[in-house]
Amino acid sequence: MSKTINSDIVVVGGGGSGLAAALQAAESGSDRVILLERRKSLGGNANFANGIFAAETVVQRQNMIDCDKDEIYRDVMKWNRYSTLVNPRILRKWINKTAETVDWLMEKGIEFEVGVRQRLHYHQNPCWHVVKGDGKLGRFNTALKIMREKAVTQGVEIIFDSNPRELLKENGKVCGLIAECGGEETKINASAVIMCTGGFMGNEQWLKKYFPYYDPEAFGGLIVPYRGEGIELVAEAGGALADSCTLVREACNTFAKDKGITPSVRQPFCIWINKSGQRFVGEDVAPHSQVASNALLRQPGALAWCLYDDSLINEVETKGFLLPHGPDCEFPFNFRQQLEDAAAENNDAVIKASSIEELAKQIGCPIHRLEKTIAENNRFYLEGYDEDFAKERRFLRIYEKAPYYAVKFSVLTVETIGPVIVDENMRVLQNSGNPIPGLYSAGVMTTGWMAEDYCGDYLFGANLSYSLTSGRIAAKDAVFYTTEGGSLHES
């Protein structure tokens, strides 16, 4: 062995969960915390985030927002149909601890805002806590910089360009790991290891295994090169893996270069059509972007087009979108120009036509089918009732004024969740159900907190919220384990 390092706790992965775990472990009294990150910077996917889910926070209280954590827990369990993917104890502990996580971040000088614009849709009580400011990648990037500074101040040793190769065990307990650090093989002795290496969006073989419907040609989104190596290490150390995982996805992957067009496909007053020129769902599902992706998956190629006519564009430019996507979404005064510019790219991401017939030709669907679809929609508008999908009357619009526009969209993939099985203290479990002493895992590589469909109506901002909170839970238990020889769960 070229090099040996001694530590109390080693955290593998410097994303949201890993950075939170390392900082919390140092704050909780661990004398020697090492954080391994294979890249040259910290944060991972958290750099792209804006905020986190939380319930019963001081920020909500100051804004007269009622988000009862008991009610949210009950609603989430019902919404998930008590799925076998959800461990109620993990879900409950995470929701209960989210306000503490917000307090923890605020103590470090991180400020949040929450309100009607910080939510998934207009029926939801605001629970998405968005970082104030203007981060370069996402607003939470500002928070990550502060967390790193605090970790260094607390004595956390951060080793970049490091790749774990093997978890070490002695007498059934994890006692460290072997890693390649800066090209040098390194043995790191530790009383506890916390694995926070993220999902496996970069592993197409695993994507096909867990999500047979996954199509790399049709799906777009935040494809990061995490291949699940950390998950494999946990399994090799005896950790149990679930048979099913969650693919975090939304129905809003647009193809235009200008991503400011993306909110246009999330509006309930539009028409969605598939390759055949037919509507396939009531478009008032659009605000529920995650579950709306299920309807999109049923369509040929998982593709659809969102239609606008001249009158609808005028409405948007006058009144704005019903559902801005993100805290920095500008009022679309220039929406028509955005569509014009995208249509001029001539790549079918946005199509402009002077008639329904021409629109059908450019989309490639049967002309008679699209003409019938538009005629049926217009009749529904005049009669005030959508007899096909019972779309809310207030969202019905008539399409009769050229020019017409079609915005092409597909499934947006964000992240995978699972399959490492843990308990509510983030201890990695064996197939027997017993924990592996000294081995923890946190963040999206773990299962038990999300069912088949991501977030639902209640948990917008869940990924980063769970990553931060589970990292802190793992760290606190690991510190207790290394000092007291047990678990907080058993104390």
The reply to whether 266 and 236 lie within a common domain is no
Residue 201: name the closest of 219, 228, 220 by CA: 228
**DSSP three-state, residue 487:** coil
Q: How far apart are CA 188 and CA 185, in angstroms?
A: 10
The reply to whether 155 and 89 lie within a common domain is yes
Given the structure tokens 């410097």, which residue do they identify? Answer: 14
Per cent of the chain over pLDDT 70 is 95
Give the pLDDT confidence score for residue 224 in this predicted structure.
Answer: 65
Q: How many CB atoms lie within 10 A of CB 257?
A: 12
Give the pLDDT confidence score for residue 331 in this predicted structure.
Answer: 62
Residue 149 φ/ψ, nearest 5 degrees = -60, -45
pTM comes to: 0.94
Q: Tokens in use for 264? A: 């246009």
pLDDT at 180 over 70: yes
Q: Which domain holds residue 65?
A: 3-244+418-490
Give the pLDDT confidence score for residue 134 in this predicted structure.
Answer: 72
How does residue 375 score in pLDDT terms, banded at 50, 70 and 90? very high
pLDDT at 135 over 60: no
The reply to whether 135 and 18 lie within a common domain is yes
Rounded to an integer, the average pLDDT of 329-349 is: 86
Cβ contacts of 158 within 8 Å, gap of 6 or more: 14, 22, 34, 35, 37, 42, 148, 151, 152
Q: Do residues 132 and 139 lie in contact, with contact meaning Cβ atoms separated by under 8 Å?
A: yes
The reply to whether 268 and 214 lie within a common domain is no
Q: How far apart are CA 99 and CA 96, in angstroms?
A: 7
Q: How far apart are CA 182 and CA 192, in angstroms?
A: 22
Residue 160: name the closest of 42, 55, 268, 45 by CA: 42
pLDDT at 282 over 60: yes
The reply to whether 192 and 298 lie within a common domain is no
Q: Do residues 432 and 186 lie in contact, with contact meaning Cβ atoms separated by under 8 Å?
A: no
**DSSP three-state, residue 112:** strand
The reply to whether 388 and 433 lie within a common domain is no
Rounded to an integer, the average pLDDT of 275-287 is: 95
Q: Do residues 208 and 139 lie in contact, with contact meaning Cβ atoms separated by under 8 Å?
A: no
The reply to whether 194 and 339 lie within a common domain is no
**DSSP three-state, residue 135:** coil
**DSSP three-state, residue 297:** helix
Q: Tokens in use for 54? A: 């939380």
Q: How many CB atoms lie within 10 A of CB 321?
A: 17
Cβ contacts of 320 within 8 Å, gap of 6 or more: 331, 332
pLDDT at 153 over 50: yes
The reply to whether 313 and 424 lie within a common domain is no
Could you please report the per-residue DSSP string of 354-405? Answer: SSHHHHHHHHTS-HHHHHHHHHHHHHHHHHT--TTT---GGG-----SS-EE
The reply to whether 26 and 91 lie within a common domain is yes
Give the pLDDT confidence score for residue 10 in this predicted structure.
Answer: 98
Work out the burial of residue 491: count CB atoms within 10 Å of its CB; fewer than 13 is exposed, 13-18 middle, 19 or more buried.
exposed
Q: How far is CA 106 from CA 98, 243, 339, 378, in A?
A: 12, 38, 40, 51
Q: Tokens in use for 488? A: 């907080």
Give the pLDDT confidence score for residue 217 in this predicted structure.
Answer: 78
Per cent of the chain over pLDDT 90 is 79
Q: Tokens in use for 161? A: 């360009």
Helix, strand, coil share of the chain (percent; to 5): 35, 20, 40
Rounded to an integer, the average pLDDT of 399-406 is: 98
Q: How far apart are CA 108 and CA 86, in angstroms?
A: 32
Residue where a domain terminates, one of 356, 388, 412: 412
Total domain count, the chain: 2
468-487: pLDDT as tens digits: 999 999 999 999 999 987 77
The reply to whether 442 and 377 lie within a common domain is no
79-132: pLDDT as tens digits: 899 999 999 999 999 999 999 999 999 999 999 999 877 777 777 778 999 999
Residue where a domain terminates, one of 389, 412, 435: 412
Identity of the residue numbered 133: G
Residue 291: name the closest of 431, 81, 90 by CA: 81
Rg, the chain, Cα only: 24
20-71: pLDDT as tens digits: 999 999 999 999 999 999 999 999 989 889 999 999 999 999 999 999 999 9
Q: Do residues 369 and 276 lie in contact, with contact meaning Cβ atoms separated by under 8 Å?
A: yes
**DSSP three-state, residue 168:** strand
416-473: pLDDT as tens digits: 999 999 999 999 999 999 999 999 999 999 999 999 988 877 888 999 999 999 999 9
How does residue 149 score in pLDDT terms, banded at 50, 70 and 90? very high
CA quadruple 465, 466, 468, 474: dihedral, nearest 10: 160
Give the pLDDT confidence score for residue 220 in this predicted structure.
Answer: 76
Q: What CATH number corresponds to the domain at position 84? A: 3.50.50.60
Residue 270: name the closest of 428, 399, 371 by CA: 399
Least confident range of 148-162, 333-347, 470-484: 333-347
Residue where a domain terminates, one of 412, 434, 455: 412
Q: What CATH number corresponds to the domain at position 266? A: 3.90.700.10
Q: What is the mean pLDDT of the chain?
A: 93
Least confident range of 260-269, 322-331, 470-479: 322-331
**DSSP three-state, residue 2:** coil
Q: How far apart are CA 201 and CA 446, in angstroms?
A: 14
The reply to whether 100 and 37 lie within a common domain is yes
The reply to whether 347 and 204 lie within a common domain is no
Give the pLDDT confidence score for residue 326 in this predicted structure.
Answer: 59
Least confident range of 210-224, 382-396, 450-464: 210-224
Given the structure tokens 């193809």, which residue do they identify? Answer: 255
Q: Which residue has the higher pLDDT, 35 or 414?
A: 35
Q: How far apart are CA 403 and CA 380, in angstroms?
A: 21
Give the pLDDT confidence score for residue 491 in this predicted structure.
Answer: 47
